[in-house]
Structure 1
Amino acid sequence: MGLELWPPAVQVALAGVLGLLLGSFLNVVIYRLPKMMEQQWAAECAEFVAQQQSDGAKPPAHAGVTAPVAPAQAFNLWTPRSRCPACGHGVRWWENIPVLSFLYLRGRCSACGARIGWRYPLVELATAGLFAWCIARWGWTPAGLCWCGFAAALLALACIDWDTTLLPDDITQPLLWAGLLASVLGWSGVPLSQAVVGAAAGYLSLWLVYWGFKLATGKEGMGFGDFKLFAALGAWFGWQALVPIILLASVIGALVGIAMKVFHTLRPGGYVPFGPFLAGAGIVAMVFGPGAILQAVWMLLV
């Protein structure tokens, strides 16, 4: 019997359980993917310096690396097994059950008592809630599964950008192409022409803002990852949704930035990453529709 024939409540509950499991994996992605990128950059720099030396050229004084350094062990999304960052205790299976293990351990490592961040269960619960909503809205259909993937990608991007100011191409680019493919197959409900124009307009609009700000101030107001994320949102929702999404992201981002400045919690340099607000606006657009965003922005401003 297909899942679509099961009672709706069971379908939604199953989606929530799947979201909890994937949310646990998203925590791994959020923590490890930036470190994997840093390792790759270091290896590429070391390889460049070694090549320069082998060619007899003097490496740049700021290179800081003289030869490629092999990592002590493989480090990716699958290995090594999860460990406590404080004491190195390997997380056992029963300590890795989404949400329940956190509650059972009272938010602390079972070996050293170090605190476990609240973000871990919150990411799991958020993923569960979004998956449940998508399946309640679209059912166990290709469209429902596509929007589940969309929500998971935005959640991961928001957390990674908040932590590191990085929006990895490993997520933004597949998200963009997935939006175009979902349009072609009729899963996103957006005509292909609107998706293509949305992707192009999303990228070019922030690209123009970036260069205008840089020419005017000599500073970089955002990163290229923001362009790609906005392009992906344009591919998923069409060009008509770009203005509501950017308005909501800008208003919320400004309010959060002002609050952080008032409470002296801004990071060195006084920056606030824009990606989390773009991702949040994308999730709001998925749940309520782009049209509802304009009403929300109006209420915030008034």
Structure 2
Amino acid sequence: MAYLHTIWQQLPIFFWVLCVAVALVIGSFMNVLIYRLPLILKRQWKNECETFLAEIKDEPQLPQGRFDLAYPRSQCPHCHHKIPFWWNIPVLSFILLRGRCHNCRQAISWRYPIVELLSVAITILLFWRFSLSIQWLWACVFALALIAAACIDLKTLLLPDQLTLPLLWLGLLVNTHQLFVSTHQSLWGAAFGYSSLWVLYWCFKLLTKKEGMGYGDFKLFAAIGAWLGWSSLPIILLFSSAAGALVGIAVLAKQRKRQQLQLPFGPFLAASALVYLVFGEQIYHLYWMML
């Protein structure tokens, strides 16, 4: 950290170029994580339990052979042509290719450059919030994990334990040094985060005979509580619920045919947590002044 501080003071332009480059690379890896982790999980579930085949029968052909976050090389999801490294540069390659695969000319999802640019934006915003400190580095880890979890939930309605549980334990460990909140706040935040949504889930299910959210939401909210403390949870839950309700109403209003709406809650929890991470102190004081 002292070395980075020296670079920041003596070579500020180089420091920011380095930060942007690292954030872009991390954003690019997050795109691999967002695309591959659900497929890895589905393949594991298929091998472990034949009953899951009914849920994935309409999915595209699952990859054969070794398939993890490191192997095989990135390839086009349409033609499966391996992407050379010069066409895999974050954001720049998307611009040069005009948003299309260099081999089959099929459109590349806008998710890729958006996630990469969002990684840069949140890194800079958190630097403004925490300056050059160990808090900034851990806040970036927390924020980028939230972005990855939100994108996976938005795409697949899944919040993998492989993301939420390590994030929960990491939040508890980080706050043993009281980087964001006290250890007491962190422990109770994890407990209240899980139990509060668990109670809401069962109340809703008993009243409506329907499931309003998944267990992955409980674990994500517990992880948020572990990082930001129990006192942040009422505000984050209020913001995420209000945002989810507004989006849900807007989506239902646009639907011509009345059908059951499946709206993931994870992205709203993640977005509210990111807002609180950056503007938490101001929001906290304003919230309690209004009560």
Q: Same fold (TM over 0.5)?
A: yes
Change (3 A) 1:131 1:266: farther
Q: Give the count of matched residue pairs.
A: 281
- Per-residue deviation, 1:79: 1.2
* 2:38 is the counterpart of 1:5: no
Amino acid at match of 1:230: F
Task: Say which of 40, 45, 48 aligns to 1:41.
Answer: 45
Aligned-pair identity in percent equals: 48
Conserved in 1, the CA contact under 8 Å of 2:232 and 2:284?
A: no
- Counterpart in 2 of 1:222? 213
SS in 2 for 1:289: helix
Aligned-pair distance for 1:106? Answer: 0.3
The alpha-carbon deviation at position 6 of structure 1 amounts to 2.0
| CA offsets 1:210-254 (integer angstroms, 9 cap, x no match) | 011111111111000111111111111111110110010011111
Q: Distance in 2 between matches of 1:2 and 1:267?
A: 59
Between 267-276 and 158-167, the greater mean CA deviation after superposition: 267-276
Report the residue type matching 1:117 in the other structure. S
Q: What SS class does the counterpart of residue 261 from structure 1 fall into?
A: helix
Task: Determine helix, strand or coil for the equivalent of 1:6.
Answer: helix
Aligned residue number for residue 76 of structure 1: 68
Q: Secondary structure at the match of 1:125?
A: helix
Partner of 1:167: 159
- Structure 1 equivalent of residue 21 of structure 2: 17
Cα separation, partners in 2 of 1:125 and 1:221, compared to 1, 3 Å: same
- Which structure: larger Rg? 1
C-alpha contact 2:74 2:83 (8 A) present in aligned 1: yes
Alignment partner of 1:280 is 2:281? no
Structure 1's consecutive aligned runs of 4 or more residues displaced over 6 angstroms after TM superposition are 62-65
| 2:129/2:278 contact within 8 Å kept | no
**Counterparts of 1:265 and 1:36, CA distance in 2:** 35
The Cα of 1:138 is off from its aligned counterpart by: 2.9
Residue 242 (structure 1) aligns with: 233
What is the distance in 1 between the residues matched to 2:6 and 2:236? Answer: 36
Task: State how far apart, in whole Å, the 1-side matches of 2:256 and 2:74 are.
Answer: 30
- How far apart are 1:111 and its partner, in Å? 1.1
- For residues 9-59 of structure 1, the C-alpha deviation after alignment (integer angstroms, 9 at most, x for no partner) is 5434422221110000000110110111101111111599xxxxxxxxxxx
- 1:265-276 superposed matches below 5 A: 269-276=260-267
Partner of 1:101: 93
RMSD: 2.8
1:23 & 1:266 partners in 2: Cα distance?
Answer: 37
Q: Is the 8 A contact 1:248 1:293 kept in 2?
A: no
Match of 1:59 in 2: none
Q: Relative to structure 1, is the Cα distance of residues 160 and 266 closer, same or farther in structure 2, using a 3 angstrom cutoff? A: farther
For residues 63 and 161 of structure 1, what CA distance do their matches in structure 2 show? 16
- 1:286 is paired with a residue whose SS is helix
TM-score, L = length of structure 2: 0.88
Q: How does 1:179-190 map to 2 (within 5 A)?
A: 179-186=171-178, 188-190=179-181
**Cα distance, 1:288 vs structure 2:** 1.1
DSSP 3-state at the match of 2:64: coil
CA change 1:32–1:235 in 2 (3 A) is: same
